[in-house]
């Protein structure tokens, strides 16, 4: 019976086989396509669509963090034929946005499955890269679970592009059954794109030391993207902290390194004990090799990994995320430079809220104190955010803020107390001018004593 079932699945799969060119020929003018996110984005289909995109008009494609150039965009420099919409920018998407060819959808990443099910019109065609069909008739989504199940539910047509180069992962809703698939493209078996891990700077390590000193035995980690969060992982590997767990949106190399060094066992987690929970992974070949058929890792939909009411159920949840600018009220702007969009809200706000609500939980927003722009050094801690900057984490949600000069907790502090605390961790060259500006606008009233906020790290 098992042999017969396997033969039936193989026959079903063969009947659905199609070339990339034939699949691209199914696209019609005015259609909405969905490429999914990160490792699941198609390549051979994308190339085939790029070759015929000038025969179409008003094709709209939704995706997230493009890891390679998108052929339809490259083949249509004037935007007469295709428009891209993106849920979170990578470097390529940012460049195309600057050129007016890619448009951002403001989202909390963990709410995206709900958006597809409730607010986004049905997708005409979803095309996802997957592992080849397994013995149970499923196409594994690899290390990019995210909101793909919701898209499949809402799509009029489902196409998978298979690749043997993807890691096969375990988790929840990680597969698409052959019965749900309309067409199968045999894709390239190349290794998945890697995300470079730049070496940590001295400033990264200084901030990481402050944050690592706040992480206790049994902490359940969420690590965001960037040098500082990964530097925290490196320091934790050198510390004596025990029984670390992970419940995170993204799984970066830093977490995999901690796991391979034996520092993560999830023994004190209430949800999914002993499992590393994540929604997608981006990093090196070594990271993908760690994930491949590893039952210690649980890849889950993003509405499970990112929902604050789920995050908070693990005690001592610790969220570590980066930002680019913080004002003296405590607002963090993490996704834009004025009116220029850079990245996206991602899961930052949801993890800030979920970690704070956890028993003994802590949320850290970290940033270097300065940056260089057009040859001039500028402060990342400012009286007012740059005009046009998007607030990612409101002042009411901010907990710990860390620079290389210290770490402060803003919870329970008035606006003047927050201003003084944040001035105290700004670069010394800017503290006097920040205080002067704050006095000038009445943020620091004269004649009132607030006491001195303790700045850890001094």
455 assigned to some structural domain: no
Asked if residue 230 lies in contact with residue 206, where contact means CB atoms within 8 angstroms, the answer is no
Q: What is the helix (H) or strand (E) element at residue 376, kind and residue range?
A: strand 376-379
What one-character DSSP code corresponds to residue 389? P
Check residue 373 and give its pLDDT.
86
**What average pLDDT score do residues 171-189 get?**
96
Q: What residues pair up with 456 in beta bridges, in sequence order?
A: 407
Flag whether pLDDT at 162 surpasses 90: yes
Give tens-digit pLDDT for 19-70. 999 999 999 999 999 999 999 999 999 999 999 999 999 999 999 999 999 9
Same domain for 253 and 125: no
d(CA 192, CA 411): 42
Give tens-digit pLDDT for 87-138. 999 999 999 999 999 999 999 999 999 999 999 999 999 999 999 999 999 9
Q: Give the residue ranges of DSSP H helices in 214-305.
A: 227-238, 253-260, 285-291, 302-305
247 assigned to some structural domain: yes
Q: Which residue in the list 249, 404, 435, 437 is annotated as catalytic?
A: 249
Check residue 225 and give its pLDDT.
79
249 tagged catalytic: yes
CATH number of the domain to which 156 belongs: 3.40.1080.10
Q: pTM of the predicted model, to two decimals? A: 0.93
d(CA 239, CA 235): 6
User: How many helices, marked H, and strands, marked E, lie in the chain?
Assistant: 16, 26
Same domain for 246 and 102: no
| DSSP assignment string, 77-124 | TTSSSEEEEESS--HHHHHHHHTT-EEE----GGGHHHHHHHTSPPEE
Is 449 strand, coil or helix?
coil
d(CA 107, CA 344): 8
Same domain for 252 and 141: no
d(CA 380, CA 403): 10
Q: What is the helix (H) or strand (E) element at residue 401, kind and residue range?
A: strand 400-403
1 assigned to some structural domain: no
d(CA 66, CA 36): 10
Q: What is the helix (H) or strand (E) element at residue 152, kind and residue range?
A: helix 148-154
Same domain for 250 and 166: no
Check residue 12 and give its pLDDT.
55
Q: Cβ contacts of residue 3 below 8 Å, gap of 6+? A: none
Residue that the structure tokens 């961790």 belong to: 425
Check residue 76 and give its pLDDT.
97
191 assigned to some structural domain: no
Reported confidence tier of residue 374, pLDDT bands at 50, 70, 90 = confident
Same domain for 249 and 155: no
Flag whether pLDDT at 251 surpasses 60: yes
27 assigned to some structural domain: yes
Sign of CA dihedral 406, 330, 379, 207: positive
Asked if residue 355 lies in contact with residue 318, where contact means CB atoms within 8 angstroms, the answer is yes
Residue that the structure tokens 């700045």 belong to: 455
CATH number of the domain to which 293 belongs: 3.40.1080.20
Same domain for 181 and 230: no
Same domain for 212 and 182: no
Same domain for 333 and 250: yes
Q: Given the DSSP bridges, would you call strands 406-409 and 400-403 parallel, antiparallel or unpaired?
A: antiparallel
Residue 257: HSE in the Cβ half-sphere, 13 Å Cα cutoff = 17
d(CA 2, CA 42): 32
Q: Cα-flanking dihedrals φ and ψ of residue 97, to 5°?
A: -65, -40
**Closest-CA residue to 151 (of 32, 280, 23, 15):** 32
Burial track 110-145 (b if 16+ CB lie within 10 A, e otherwise): bbbbeebeeebeebbbbbbbbbbbeeebbbbbbbbb
Same domain for 214 and 181: no
Reported confidence tier of residue 455, pLDDT bands at 50, 70, 90 = low
Asked if residue 141 lies in contact with residue 125, where contact means CB atoms within 8 angstroms, the answer is no
271 assigned to some structural domain: yes
Same domain for 255 and 342: yes
Q: Structural domain tally of the chain?
A: 2
Please provide the average confidence, as pLDDT, over all residues in the chain.
Answer: 93
267 assigned to some structural domain: yes
Asked if residue 306 lies in contact with residue 348, where contact means CB atoms within 8 angstroms, the answer is no
Among 186, 212, 230, the domain-final residue is: 186
**What average pLDDT score do residues 277-282 get?**
97
Residue 42: burial class (beta carbons within 10 Å; 0-12, 13-18, 19+): buried
Asked if residue 171 lies in contact with residue 299, where contact means CB atoms within 8 angstroms, the answer is yes
Give tens-digit pLDDT for 306-350. 999 999 999 999 999 999 999 999 999 999 999 999 999 999 999
Same domain for 256 and 165: no
Cα dist from 224 to 251, 278, 320, 452, whole Å: 8, 11, 6, 31
Percent of the chain with pLDDT over 90: 87
218 assigned to some structural domain: yes
197's tokens: 């891990």
**What average pLDDT score do residues 253-265 get?**
94
Same domain for 372 and 327: yes
The domain in which residue 334 lies consists of 202-440
Check residue 1 and give its pLDDT.
43
Sign of CA dihedral 419, 232, 219, 269: positive
d(CA 293, CA 169): 5
| Contacts within 8 Å (CB) and 24+ apart, 445-448 | 445/416, 448/416
Reported confidence tier of residue 352, pLDDT bands at 50, 70, 90 = very high
Asked if residue 57 lies in contact with residue 28, where contact means CB atoms within 8 angstroms, the answer is no
What one-character DSSP code corresponds to residue 23? H
Q: What residues pair up with 54 in beta bridges, in sequence order?
A: none
Ramachandran sector of residue 440 (left: φ over 0; alpha: ψ -120 to 50; beta: rest): alpha
Reported confidence tier of residue 449, pLDDT bands at 50, 70, 90 = low
d(CA 110, CA 308): 9
Residue 55: burial class (beta carbons within 10 Å; 0-12, 13-18, 19+): exposed
């Amino acid at each position: 019976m098992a042999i017969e079932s396997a033969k039936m699945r193989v026959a079903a799969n063969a009947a659905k086989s199609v070339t990339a060119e034939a699949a691209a020929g199914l696209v019609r003018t005015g259609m909405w396509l969905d490429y999914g996110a990160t490792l699941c984005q198609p390549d051979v289909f994308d190339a085939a669509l790029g070759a015929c995109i000038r025969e179409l008009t008003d094709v709209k494609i939704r995706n997230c963090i493009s890891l390679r150039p998108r052929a339809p965009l490259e083949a249509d420099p004037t935007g007469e034929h295709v428009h891209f919409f993106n849920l979170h920018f990578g470097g390529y998407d940012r460049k195309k946005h600057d050129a007016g060819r890619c448009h951002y959808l403001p989202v909390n990443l963990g709410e995206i499955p709900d958006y597809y099910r409730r607010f986004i019109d049905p997708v005409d065609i979803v095309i996802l890269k997957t592992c080849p069909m397994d013995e149970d008739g499923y196409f594994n989504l690899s290390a990019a679970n995210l909101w793909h199940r919701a898209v499949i539910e809402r799509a009029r047509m489902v196409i998978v592009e298979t690749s043997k180069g993807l890691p096969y992962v375990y988790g929840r809703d990680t597969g698409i059954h052959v019965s749900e698939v309309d067409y199968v493209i045999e894709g390239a078996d190349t290794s998945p794109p890697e995300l470079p891990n730049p070496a940590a700077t001295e400033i990264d390590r200084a901030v990481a030391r402050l944050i690592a000193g706040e992480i206790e035995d049994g902490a359940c980690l969420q690590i965001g993207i960037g040098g500082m969060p990964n530097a925290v992982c490196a320091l934790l590997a050198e510390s004596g902290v025990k029984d670390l767990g992970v419940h995170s949106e993204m799984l970066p190399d830093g977490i995999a390194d901690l796991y391979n060094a034996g520092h993560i066992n999830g023994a004190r987690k209430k949800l999914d004990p002993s499992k590393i929970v994540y929604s997608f992974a981006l990093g090196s070949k070594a990271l993908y090799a760690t994930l491949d058929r590893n039952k210690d890792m649980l890849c889950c939909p993003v509405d499970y990994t990112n929902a604050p009411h789920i995050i908070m159920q693990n005690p001592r949840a610790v969220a570590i995320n980066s930002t680019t600018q913080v004002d003296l009220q405590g607002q963090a702007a993490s996704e834009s430079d004025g009116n220029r969009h850079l990245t996206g809200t991602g899961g930052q706000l949801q993890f800030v809220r979920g970690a704070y609500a956890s028993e003994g939980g802590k949320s850290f927003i970290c940033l270097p104190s300065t940056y260089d722009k057009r040859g001039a050094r500028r402060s990342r801690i400012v009286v007012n955010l740059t005009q046009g900057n998007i607030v990612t984490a409101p002042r009411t949600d901010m907990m710990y803020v860390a620079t290389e000069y210290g770490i402060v907790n803003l919870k329970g502090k008035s606006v003047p107390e927050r201003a003084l605390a944040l001035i105290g961790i700004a670069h010394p060259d800017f503290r006097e001018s920040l205080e002067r500006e704050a006095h000038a606008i009445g943020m620091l009233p004269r004649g009132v004593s607030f006491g001195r906020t303790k700045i850890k790290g001094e």
